[in-house]
Amino acid sequence: MTASVPRFPTGFTWGVSTSAYQIEGATSEDGRGPSIWDRFTHSPGTVVDGSTGDAACDHYHRYAEDVALLAGLGVGAYRFSIAWPRIQPDGTGQANPAGLAFYDRLVDSLLERGIDPVATLFHWDLPQALEDRGGWLARDTAERFADYATLVAGRLADRVKLWITLNEPFVHMSYGYGLGVHAPGQQRLFDAFPVAHHQLLGHGLAVTALRALTGSPIAITNNYSPVRVQGGTDADQLAAGAYHALHNRLFTDPILGLGYPEIPGADESVIRPGDLDTIAAPIDALGVNYYNPTGVRAPTDPENPLPFDLVPLTGYPTTSFGWPVDPDGLRELLTGLRHEYGDRLPPIHITEGGCCYDDTLDALGRCHDPERIAYLDGHLRAVHQAIADGVDVRGYFVWSLLDNFEWAEGYTKRFGLVHVDFATQRRTPKTSYAWYRDLINAGTVAPSGTVTPTEAAAVAPADAR
Residue set of the binding site for substrate? 22, 123, 167, 291, 399, 406-407
Strand partners, 224: 290
Tell me the C-alpha distance between 220 and 147, whole Å. 17
Tell me the C-alpha distance between 404 and 60, whole Å. 13
Provide the H-helix boundaries in 6-114.
20-23, 36-41, 59-73, 84-87, 97-112
What one-character-per-residue DSSP string does 339-364 give?
A: HHHGGGPPPEEEEEE---------TT
User: Do 85 and 34 contact (CB within 8 A), yes or no?
Assistant: yes
Query: Which active-site residues does the annotation give?
Result: 168, 352
Of 121, 151, 248, 141, the C-alpha closest to 202 is 141
Annotated binding site: 22, 123, 167, 291, 399, 406-407
Rounded to a whole number of angstroms, the CA Rg of the chain reads: 21
List Cβ neighbours of 204 (8 Å cut-off, separation of 6 or more): 275, 278, 279, 280, 281
User: Do 426 and 420 contact (CB within 8 A), yes or no?
Assistant: yes
What is the SS3 assignment for 326? Answer: coil
Tell me the C-alpha distance between 298 and 173, whole Å. 22
